């Protein structure tokens, strides 16, 4: 198949304009598919666009949101240094020929304008995440069990922020389809459960992990790895592949698998946040891999925290 012709997507920054745009597309008989991102796009993100097109049964209008969500970062995390390249992102999305619009709001938590009680001293809008004057953002979406453990243990505000901003995006964009990468496995499951529990009429697609040629899972944060750290980080994907092979060959004791992965990562110079073997939907730990499971890993290499996982489909 020949590559799609480049098509410059419409850039939308205003929430009301975004909602109106989606409603016009639906009135034209198109489904609206949303791909939420935080920008600094790579091939993994672009694969989500392809998955969005493939998931639609008929004509589809794909929206990619680019928004670095402050509410999912703790004060000690890398919000200030999260990489960005908006012009580069637009070029990559245009080259796909499949993206109709890019939604890039300046701040989804701003309230107030001149004369409004939530306005700042200068009369402009202020972020209600920072406003302590009685107008702060105080409504949060929690997926109480699935947000525990794994990344939720070391990042206690993360999934509260993720679920809330995704709910906001769903209410603004009003998509029929939304696509999330399975590299962020717990995030994908949290969103699936939120959609089920709150009756969002949205089809959630989990798209497979996209890897570099050497196996490293694609991530916007990979740019912060030194050459040496990047080479060491390959121990993550290699240990996961070895663990899956062992499990499928009958060595399915979770603790033994976890211990081997931890040893491999530490010998490579990584600092392990967690290694867990959990059931795929509930994310509850399993002692033996005798049902569909996923091995999830988070580890630091230098100042970069990387996550990865591998699914294991077995019933014995």
Widest CA span of the chain, in angstroms? 68
Which tokens belong to 154? 């070391």
Residue 116 binned pLDDT confidence (cut-offs 50, 70, 90): very low
Other C-beta atoms lying within 10 Å of the C-beta of residue 259: 12
Q: What is the pLDDT of residues 171-212, one digit of tens each?
A: 999 999 999 999 999 999 999 999 999 999 999 999 999 999
Res. 72 pLDDT band, cuts 50 70 90: very high
Return the higher-pLDDT residue of 120 and 297.
297
E strands present in 45-187: 60-66, 99-103, 110-111, 126-127, 177-181
Q: What is the DSSP secondary-structure string of 156-171? A: TTHHHHHHHHHHHHHH
Is the pLDDT reported for residue 169 higher than 50? yes
pLDDT tier for residue 95 given thresholds of 50, 70 and 90: very high
Question: What domains can you pick out in the chain, each with its CATH number?
Answer: 10-207 (3.40.50.620), 222-312 (3.30.1300.10)
| Residues marked as catalytic | 45
- What is the predicted pLDDT for the residue at 316? 54
Global confidence as pTM: 0.91
């Amino acid at each position: 198949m020949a590559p799609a012709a480049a098509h410059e997507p419409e850039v939308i920054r205003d929430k009301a304009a975004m909602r109106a745009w989606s409603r016009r597309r639906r009135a034209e008989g198109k489904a609206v598919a949303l791909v939420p991102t935080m920008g600094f796009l790579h091939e993994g993100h672009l694969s989500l666009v392809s998955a969005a097109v493939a998931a639609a049964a008929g004509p589809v209008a794909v929206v990619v949101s680019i928004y670095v969500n402050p509410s999912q970062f703790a004060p000690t995390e890398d919000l200030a240094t999260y990489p960005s390249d908006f012009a580069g992102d637009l070029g990559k999305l245009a080259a796909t020929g499949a993206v109709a619009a890019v939604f890039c709001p300046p701040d989804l938590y701003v309230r107030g304008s001149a004369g409004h009680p939530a306005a700042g001293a200068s009369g402009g809008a202020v972020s209600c995440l920072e406003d302590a004057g009685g107008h702060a953002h105080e409504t949060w979406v929690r997926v109480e069990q699935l947000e525990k453990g794994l990344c939720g243990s070391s990042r206690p505000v993360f999934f509260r922020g993720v679920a809330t901003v995704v709910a906001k995006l769903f209410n603004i964009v009003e998509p029929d389809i939304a696509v999330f990468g399975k590299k962020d496995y717990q995030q994908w499951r949290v969103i699936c459960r939120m959609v089920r529990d709150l009756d969002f009429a949205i089809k959630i697609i989990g798209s497979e992990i996209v890897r570099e040629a050497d196996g490293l899972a694609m991530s916007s944060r990979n740019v912060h790895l030194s050459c040496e750290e990047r080479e060491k980080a390959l121990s993550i994907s290699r240990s996961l592949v070895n663990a899956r092979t062992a499990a499928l060959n009958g060595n399915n004791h979770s603790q033994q698998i976890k211990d081997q992965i931890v040893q491999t990562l530490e010998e490579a110079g990584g600092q392990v946040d967690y290694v867990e073997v959990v059931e795929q939907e509930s994310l509850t730990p399993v002692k033996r891999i005798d049902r569909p499971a996923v091995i999830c890993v988070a580890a630091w290499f230098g100042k970069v925290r990387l996550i990865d996982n591998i699914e294991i489909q077995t019933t014995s």
